Amino acid sequence: MKAIKYLMIGSLFLLVTACGSGATEEQAEVADADKSAMKLYKNNCMSCHGNDLSGRVGPGLQQVGSKMTEEKLVEIITVGANGMPGYENVLSAEEIGQLAKWLSEKKE
């Protein structure tokens, strides 16, 4: 009887541990994507849009996700707009997508 009890407890522990590790991996992937996008921003956008996205020469981007879709941001980053140069020859399509996704989440 004790063996069955320990087996059930052990199985439950393994189940909980396995379920928790998936969330941790997903969180790590999101954190890595954010770090990558932040690095792209720092290297390509910060001089005009500010280190805290508050704007300088270019407009502030702190709430840009409330105003523009991810697709619109991809377009603007790629071809430029209103004095902003396009980055199609500077960044890859994947990098532009990462940056646009990250910026589209800026809603506060």
Annotated binding residue 49:
yes
Question: Dihedral of CA 41/43/47/51: which sign?
Answer: positive
Annotated binding residue 46:
no
Place of tokens 């790590």: 28
Annotated binding residue 8:
no
Annotated binding residue 19:
no
Place of tokens 């430029």: 80
Query: Token digits for 90?
Result: 């500077």
Q: Which residues are annotated as a binding site?
A: 45, 48-49, 84
**Which residue ranges make up the annotated binding site for heme c?**
45, 48-49, 84
